[in-house]
Amino acid sequence: MADLIPFDDRDGLIWYNGKLVPWRESTLHVLSHGLHYGSCVFEGERSYNGEIFKLREHTDRLIESGRILGFEIPFSADEIDAACIETCKANNIVDGYIRPVAWRGSEMMAVSAQQTKIHVAIATWPWPSYFSPELREKGISLKTSPWKRPSPECAPVHAKAAGLYMIATLSKHHAEAAGYTDALLLDWRGQISEATGANIFMVMGDGKLHTPIPDCFLDGITRRTVIGLAKERGYEVIERVIMPDELPKATEIFLTGSAAEVTPVGKIDALTFTPGDITRTLIDDYERAVGKIR
């Protein structure tokens, strides 16, 4: 804990409701609706060599997430894109992370929130790989979570909404307490869905890539990118229902996400896996696509 640098006590600038504000002054009131009722949406983006990967796709998803939660973000996609780029330049971010976030303010403190102001902020900071190079080499470990992804009838599952990540935090803490890197979440039907912040792919005995249908979790931007890269390689990608008892049939497993990039999985519960040729090929292809490999 002594080595942690709190995110509220850093140098730099944050874009806040249309202007750059000193980092430590970029605050919100304790009675903001977004804090109490989870009426908040966000994005996680990566900058490589000074370029934000898939910036417009992330911006479009941020705006759509707000719409799903019933509010309109008061800036256009062009304005948000420009603000992300401006904030990176203001903080000298070449390779790093970008976090746009939008939330309901403090005008109403009740379940109803129609008259709240919508705030938007964008923060950027340097960030290396989400998982250490050692873990990425041998593959991370996942423990199946006791928490499950809810039905689309129970939550706004296609929004990148802050409240949905409570399940992810509980699941990751549960996994880490047992010595695992991350968690594997099933959905309410018992089907494999995703990890706490990344989509999952499996190479099965048929040599094809299999991945769950994103009907109750985010169809990740990195997920779609990797599917495209796999198809360019001639790999067949099958989106289907995958049950936990199929895991022993997998020869390779990996995760995809803006933070995770393409990360091999070496263990799920008591099962072990070896990162293989398809995983390593897609790692290289993704790194070329984002500009890490020239």
Place of tokens 């423990």: 143
pLDDT digit string, tens, across residues 152-207: 999 999 999 999 999 999 999 999 999 999 999 999 999 999 999 999 999 998 89
Q: With respect to CATH, is domain 13-126 assigned 3.30.1300.10? A: no
Kindly report, as residue ranges, where domains of CATH 3.20.10.10 are found in the chain: 133-290
For this structure, is 138 an active site residue? Answer: no
Q: Which superfamily is assigned to 133-290 in CATH?
A: D-amino Acid Aminotransferase, subunit A, domain 2 (3.20.10.10)
Sign of dihedral through CA atoms 166, 140, 203, 255?
positive
Both structure tokens of 186 = 């099933």
Q: pLDDT over 90 for what percent of the chain?
A: 92
Task: Check residue 293 and give its pLDDT.
Answer: 65
Nearest alpha-carbon partner for 130 in 42, 203, 220, 197: 197
Kindly report, as residue ranges, where domains of CATH 3.30.470.10 are found in the chain: 13-126
Contact by Cβ (8 Å): 15, 122: yes
Please enumerate in sequence order all residues whose Cβ is within 8 A of that of 12, keeping only pairs 6 or more positions apart, or say none: 23, 90, 91, 124, 125
**pTM check: above 0.85:** yes
Spot the catalytic one: 54, 89, 138, 160: 160
Task: DSSP letter for 161, please.
Answer: B
Contact by Cβ (8 Å): 266, 139: yes
Place of tokens 């070449």: 94
